[in-house]
Amino acid sequence: MFEVICYRAKFELFSKASSSWVAGLPADHDDDFALICAINQDGTLGFDRTPSAKEFVSALIAGCYCVDISGALLAPGDFRGQYMPSIFFKDRNGCFDRMAMEHERYLLELKKHAFLSRYKSLQSPCSSPLSDFLLGGGRSVSKSLYVALMESCEFFCMSKLSGEYGWGAFDVTSSNMAGFLLDLENNIPAEGHITLKANIQEVPCW
């Protein structure tokens, strides 16, 4: 048995208790955010503490584009790491698919430019906000990229890699948070259930 714990709040409040990276997002004060973590019946934190909990979060990740440890963007189903991806995105109606394809085209253009520029002067290819973010090490999200992600993703998630909420914990934002939470609840196995917390102080941590 395991419990999925969800703390949900508007960005203005949520950012005060989250990481500096999340707090630095160019979000509006009333954008919806949530912290998702898991705890087993023995009180141990982490989605890796029961097989069904790990399968549950792994299935969620499998349906998303993931940024791996090298900063590469992997298509849904391609992430094979035993660790959590740093960021993962769920496509909305093919919109993020197009952003990902644009990024792949840019990478190919960069390789082509690097080769041909040995022989003649060429103008550098134009990047996209997503490419700037990924190739810049994911240090910060521009306003244009944030707006594009909110429009093109059902949700996007940022792993809590520091581990204070256990393995697999993540922050999530969505323009349809109610839909995300309903989907989460509908896909949780019989051994699990979701508990909503109104205050971050109610969420267990190491």
The contacts of residue 71 (CB under 8 Å, 6+ apart) are 134, 135, 137, 138
Residues 139-196 pLDDT 10s = 889 999 999 999 999 999 999 988 899 999 999 999 999 999 999 999 999 999 999 9
How is the chain split into domains, by residue range? Answer: 2-92+152-201, 95-142
Percent of the chain with pLDDT over 70: 98
Task: Render 166-195 in DSSP notation, one character per residue.
Answer: -TT-EEEE-TTHHHHHHHHHHHS-TTEEEE
Residues 76-102 pLDDT 10s = 999 988 889 999 999 999 999 999 999
pLDDT of residue 113: 64
Rounded Cα gap, residues 192 and 206, in angstroms: 21
Rounded Cα gap, residues 170 and 155, in angstroms: 12
Identify which has the larger pLDDT, 114 or 21.
Answer: 21
Amino acid code (one letter) for 89: F
Q: In angstroms, how far is CA 25 from the centroid of its own chain?
A: 13
pLDDT of residue 84: 94
